[in-house]
Amino acid sequence: MNLLNEHIDRVNEKLQLLVKQYQALQKENERLKQELEQRGLREQEMTEKITRLQQQMEIARVYSGQTEGDNTHKELEKRINAYIKEIDQCIALLSGQ
């Protein structure tokens, strides 16, 4: 009977260790999820910043005359229409909330 109790104690100790390891892994997993979410947000912010800078560069090129005359006007008109469409989509999304 004593041998059986020792065996049960060892199994219980191993089970306790597994539970502790499981809890530690859960905490680590949660931390990694939060870190991934933060990095995703930073990536999105950077992508938006790059887009804004590219738009500013394009506007600067248009105003400095680095693009060709008639094409410049058409290009600028296309960009403005694209911006208006994007703004309309944002407004539609916001009003849907």
pTM for this prediction: 0.51
pLDDT for residue 43 = 92
Residue 21 has pLDDT above 90, yes or no: yes
Whole-number Å distance between alpha carbons of 56 and 62: 10
How confident is the model over 41-96, as pLDDT tens digits?
A: 999 999 999 989 988 887 787 677 665 555 667 777 888 888 888 888 888 888 87
Buried b / exposed e across 48-71, counting CB within 10 Å, b at 16+?
eeeeeeeeeeeeeeeeeeeeeeee
Three-state DSSP state, 12 = helix
Task: Check residue 90 and give its pLDDT.
Answer: 85
